[in-house]
Structure 1
Amino acid sequence: MESTRITLTGHARGEVQLFSNEVKAGKMDIAMTNSRLTVFHTEVDPEFEGQGFAKLLLAQLVSYAREKQLKIVALCPYVNMQFRRHPMQYEDIWEKDWHQ
């Protein structure tokens, strides 16, 4: 059984974590500042690849952003690619014009 959770550590950094049968199968590295949620990296353990786990992580990230009314800065190549492939699906939470 798969489950996801958001874990924030000090300084508003944290992870979206995915567990499969209580084993950590993947994660997204994130940080929150003001009304922005920046996602840096998505990683799925090799033994769990090909099972759609990156999409489960993305779904949790998007759900959290919508619930907290945050905009997502997609620095992660995977998230950026998904946002570009499906812009209408993520239009409400995608911070497209963000610049460092």
Structure 2
Amino acid sequence: MSEVQLQLDERGRGAFYLEENKEKLGEMVVGISGTALTVYHTEVDPKMEGQGLAKKMFDFMIKYVREKGLTVVPLCEFVHAQFKRHPEEFADVWKR
């Protein structure tokens, strides 16, 4: 399986995604404005559910925002749930 990729357009909108054989297996839709990265939605191909793909994209996104000095606005239910479960772990990046 491929590594997580990030694709953004000139306006800072795009997604972190996973692909295999040119087939998209999962994506985390985001937008960057200033120093905030907003996560709108995370989705994994139903046939790939339960294999940790959403968590893999989440971990990559967290690494990315820390490297870039960004904060995260978690509009996505999955990301918000991760932040609520481990608030101390993500306090440095969670824009409440």
Q: What TM-score does the superposition give when structure 1 sets the normalisation length?
A: 0.90
Shift in Å, 1:21: 5.4
**Distance in 2, Cα, partners of 1:22 & 1:87:** 36
Partner of 1:51: 51
Listed as ranges, the gaps of 5+ residues in structure 2 are: none
Q: In the alignment, does 2:5 pair up with 1:8?
A: no
Contact 1:3–1:20 at 8 Å: present in 2 too? no
Runs of 4+ off more than 6 Å: none
SS of 2:4's equivalent? Answer: strand
Give the structure 1 partner of residue 86 of structure 2.
Answer: 86
Gaps of 5+ in 1: none
Corresponding position of 2:68: 68
Mapped to 2, the partners of 1:11 and 1:26 lie a distance apart of: 22
Tell me the alpha carbon deviations over residues 1-52 of structure 1, each in whole angstroms, 9 at most, x when there is no partner.
Answer: 3410111013110100112455321001100000000000000011110101
Name the residue aligned to 1:40: 40
Aligned CA-pair RMSD: 1.2
- Percent identity at matched positions? 42
